[in-house]
């Protein structure tokens, strides 16, 4: 992402110069925040997912639901996935790299209609790239149909990745097509006791089968992802729990792949959570810069971090990153570098007079709160769609977040 945007490239330079300039103890304390910003912003890349599941498990429908556009062909009769290879599904919001195991039992290619027959193809594809996560899909009505064999296949894939790339990708188990469970007439949010009981039973069956083979997962997620499109526009869907799946996927991805998936998904809650993590890291670094008693030297890196933060949040929301985006937002807020400088230096001068010896720590707090306010204002405007007036109010408050774990 940094290579596409001059502001973020400048922020990368600020981070590279900032870390070694901080005192030793402070540098160690802020190392995680520097790494978070670098991986999320400067090393951002498309997420890479591998999907394992039998034919008819709803792989293409789920990909379309995650991306929010009809990028994967959905076949109601014939299997749609061809030769096993990495596919790039690109939209106006970004790119998703996908390795689909085709659908075990695909009779259109008898030589690879089972996992062992496709193993050479799978190994060749995994030689090229390693998936960030494995999505194991199981159709809700088939949770007791040779699921043990399918889980063994998942374990073999993890071993292949481990041998070639030195790590085992996390497994995300998904029970698909829960809309097909009785009573079928119930629409999302499936607020029916019998429907909920049948969904819970399907999830429990998958959890038990995974546990028997030593794969302990925090959760197995049930979803429905059926949708109908006309001329590229979604005209109907019965989406349920897709937002929770995306949130879970984002949390399990390497940080370098999280921004792109959150942007692709268009899920506001996912984007807000990631934006606040960016804000927290930038605010902590601003506080560290502010705490270093170097007169007049900190406004440039602090302002650079704040402008980079605005650009990143705008990009996360779906905007294209550009210097104009951050500039227009700051102008709309009535903020500028001069105003930030006056606030920063006036606060430092005041606390040094009133509390001799405490200036650095308190001005670090001012820097933290100011950067947090900028981040909250950007989240309100770009992600939540609130007015500039509301964003201004949040900026003026300049308060640190409550301890919510966000």
* Cα 193 to Cα 140, 177, 199, 226, 330, distances in angstroms: 17, 18, 10, 22, 51
Give SS3 for 15.
helix
**What does the pLDDT read at residue 114?**
63
360-399, pLDDT tens digit by residue? Answer: 544 677 778 888 988 999 999 999 999 988 888 887 765 5
**What does the pLDDT read at residue 352?**
41
Q: Is a pLDDT exceeding 90 seen at residue 323?
A: no
**Parent domain of 97:** 48-252
293-310, pLDDT tens digit by residue? Answer: 544 455 557 777 888 888
Domain of 228, CATH number, reads 3.40.50.300
Q: What is the mean pLDDT of the chain?
A: 80
Task: Name the band, by pLDDT with cuts 50, 70 and 90, for residue 73.
Answer: low
Peptide bond into 189 cis (omega under 30): yes
For residue 174, the cross-strand partners are 137, 221
**What does the pLDDT read at residue 5?**
59
**What does the pLDDT read at residue 74?**
62
Q: Which of 190, 224, 252 is the last residue of a domain?
A: 252
**What does the pLDDT read at residue 199?**
97
Spatial distance between the Cα atoms of 385 and 239, rounded to a whole number of angstroms: 23
Q: Are residues 21 and 157 in the same domain?
A: no
Task: For helices 6-21 and 323-333, give the axis angle rounded to 10 degrees.
Answer: 80
85-122, pLDDT tens digit by residue? Answer: 788 888 888 889 998 776 555 545 444 456 666 788 88
**What does the pLDDT read at residue 84?**
76
Closest CA to 319 of 400, 378, 375, 402: 378
Q: Is residue 405 part of a domain?
A: no
The total number of structural domains that make up the chain = 2
**pLDDT, greater one: 249 or 351:** 249
Q: Are residues 67 and 31 in the same domain?
A: no
Q: Which of 196, 219, 252 is the last residue of a domain?
A: 252
Q: Are residues 104 and 199 in the same domain?
A: yes
Spatial distance between the Cα atoms of 109 and 347, rounded to a whole number of angstroms: 71
Task: Name the band, by pLDDT with cuts 50, 70 and 90, for residue 6.
Answer: low
Task: Name the band, by pLDDT with cuts 50, 70 and 90, for residue 143.
Answer: very high
Percent of the chain with pLDDT over 70: 77
């Amino acid at each position: 992402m940094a290579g596409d945007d001059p502001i973020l490239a400048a922020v990368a330079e600020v981070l590279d110069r900032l870390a070694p300039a901080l005192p030793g103890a402070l540098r160690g304390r802020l190392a995680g925040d520097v790494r978070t910003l670098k991986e999320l912003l400067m090393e951002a890349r498309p997420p890479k997912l591998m999907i394992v599941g039998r034919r008819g498990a709803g792989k293409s429908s789920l990909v379309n639901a995650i991306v929010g556009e009809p990028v994967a062909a959905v076949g109601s009769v014939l299997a749609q996935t061809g030769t096993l290879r990495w596919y790039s599904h690109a939209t106006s919001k970004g790119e998703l790299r996908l390795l689909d195991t085709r659908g075990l039992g695909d009779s259109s290619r008898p030589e690879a209609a089972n996992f062992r027959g496709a193993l050479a193809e799978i190994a060749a594809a995994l030689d090229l790239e390693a998936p960030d996560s494995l999505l194991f899909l199981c159709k809700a009505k088939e949770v007791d149909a040779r699921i043990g064999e399918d889980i063994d296949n998942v374990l073999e894939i993890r071993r292949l990745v481990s041998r070639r790339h030195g790590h085992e990708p996390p497994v995300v188990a998904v029970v698909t097509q829960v809309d097909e469970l009785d009573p079928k007439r119930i629409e999302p949010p499936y607020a029916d006791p019998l429907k909920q009981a049948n969904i819970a039973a399907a999830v429990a069956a998958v959890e038990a089968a995974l546990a028997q083979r030593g794969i302990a997962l925090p959760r197995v997620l049930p979803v429905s992802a059926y949708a109908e499109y006309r001329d590229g526009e979604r005209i109907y869907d019965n989406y349920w729990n897709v937002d929770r799946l995306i949130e879970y996927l984002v949390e399990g991805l390497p940080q370098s792949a999280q921004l792109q998936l959150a942007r692709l998904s268009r899920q506001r809650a996912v984007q807000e959570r990631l934006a606040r993590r960016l804000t927290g890291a930038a605010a902590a670094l601003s506080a560290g810069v502010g705490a270093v008693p170097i007169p007049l030297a900190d406004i440039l890196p602090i302002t650079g971090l704040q402008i980079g933060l605005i650009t990143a949040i705008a990009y996360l929301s779906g905007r294209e990153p550009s210097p104009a985006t951050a500039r227009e937002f700051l102008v709309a807020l009535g903020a500028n570098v001069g105003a930030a400088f006056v606030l920063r230096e006036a606060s430092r001068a005041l606390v040094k007079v009133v509390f001799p010896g405490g200036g650095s720590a308190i001005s670090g707090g001012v820097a933290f709160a100011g950067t947090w306010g900028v981040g909250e204002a950007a989240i309100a405007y770009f992600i939540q769609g609130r007015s500039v007036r509301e964003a201004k109010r949040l900026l003026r408050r300049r308060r640190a977040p409550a301890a919510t774990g966000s």
